[in-house]
Amino acid sequence: MSQYNQLRTQPHRNQPLKETHPQDQRHPTANDQPSKALQHPLYGAKRPTATLIWLIGVICTVLWVLIIVGGLAVVIVYLIFRPRSPRFEISSATLNTAYIDMGSLLNADLTFLANISNPNKKIDVSFDIFEVDLYYRTTLIATTAVDPFSEMRLEAKLGTFHMVSSQVALHTGEMEQLRNELANSSISLDVKGSFRARSSLGRNFLHFKYWLHGRCSIVVNSPPGGALMSSKCITKR
């Protein structure tokens, strides 16, 4: 009997014993559960774009189209009409009077003839503001204005300007410079103009306004016969 019990308690030689450890007994975790996203019926579906985003996109597209079309229109108009700025030039001038009173006060009388021309072949120009200033060095000594006028294409007009200075104070350096120029019969003056022009394209179907700035540096003889010796003019926007 004892031998029989001994045989029952011995394991079979061909079946090794299996050791178990507490860590091998795993419990279900969250990773083992099916994903909630996978369980959602809309998983993988594309979310619809918000109406506001679509509206902003449409507005931006329209603005870009308008900018491109406007740029092309400007280029086409420029190539067709080839707009050029009117010119302001001084053709003759006479310094009638120029003397220094009370040591530092300038009195002067200048008359000059200006040529205002429209060099465009397809554009008419009108001027609603036309102001002209006379400077000696950096000091404004006289100013005048012209009534509004118009010029047809390739038209030029001559205008007479009478500039009078009365008791204008000069800086010490300018006063000494003017004394030397009067003695040498070579007086330098600057004529500056500010003009607001209005151009009409193609029989008045398109208008645009802009400012022009003209500057003429002139040299005249001493009075009373102070004739124009040289003139250099620049007109730009």
Angstrom distance (rounded) from CA 195 to CA 201:
19
Q: Are residues 105 and 199 in the same domain?
A: yes
Q: Are residues 117 and 214 in the same domain?
A: yes
Residue 197 lies inside a defined structural domain of this protein: yes
CA angle 180, 224, 136 (to 5 degrees): 45
Domain boundary among 65, 81, 97: 81
CATH assignment of the domain containing 97: 2.60.40
Q: Are residues 182 and 208 in the same domain?
A: yes
Q: Are residues 105 and 124 in the same domain?
A: yes
Q: Are residues 138 and 205 in the same domain?
A: yes
84: left (phi over 0), alpha (psi -120 to 50) or beta: beta
Residue 171 lies inside a defined structural domain of this protein: yes
pLDDT in tens, the chain (237 residues): 444 444 444 544 545 445 444 445 555 554 555 554 444 444 444 555 678 888 888 899 999 999 998 888 777 776 777 789 999 999 999 999 999 988 889 999 999 999 999 999 889 999 999 999 999 999 999 999 999 999 999 999 999 999 999 999 999 899 999 999 999 999 999 999 999 999 987 666 678 899 999 999 999 999 988 999 999 999 998
pLDDT recorded at residue 188: 97
Q: For the chain, what is the total number of helices (H) and then of strands (E)?
A: 4, 9
Q: Are residues 65 and 128 in the same domain?
A: no
Residue 30 lies inside a defined structural domain of this protein: no
End-to-end CA distance of the chain: 129
Q: Is the preceding omega at residue 28 within 30 degrees of 0, hence cis?
A: no
CA angle 119, 120, 121 (to 5 degrees): 120
Q: Are residues 140 and 67 in the same domain?
A: no
Please give the residue range of the domain that contains residue 76.
52-81
Domain boundary among 81, 101, 120: 81
64, with CB counted inside 10 A (0-12, 13-18, 19+), is exposed
CA angle 210, 213, 216 (to 5 degrees): 155
Domain boundary among 81, 102, 122: 81
CA angle 161, 166, 172 (to 5 degrees): 115
Residue 222 lies inside a defined structural domain of this protein: yes
Instruction: Give the predicted TM-score (pTM) of the model.
Output: 0.70
Residue 7 lies inside a defined structural domain of this protein: no
Q: Are residues 60 and 175 in the same domain?
A: no
100: which strand partners? 106
Q: Are residues 63 and 96 in the same domain?
A: no
Q: Are residues 95 and 61 in the same domain?
A: no
Residue 8 lies inside a defined structural domain of this protein: no
Q: Are residues 146 and 173 in the same domain?
A: yes
Residue 120 lies inside a defined structural domain of this protein: yes
How many domains in the chain?
2
pLDDT recorded at residue 194: 96
Q: What is the β-pairing status of strands 123-136 and 226-236? A: unpaired
Residue 128 lies inside a defined structural domain of this protein: yes
pLDDT recorded at residue 224: 86
182 touches 222 (CB < 8 A): yes
Q: Are residues 71 and 166 in the same domain?
A: no
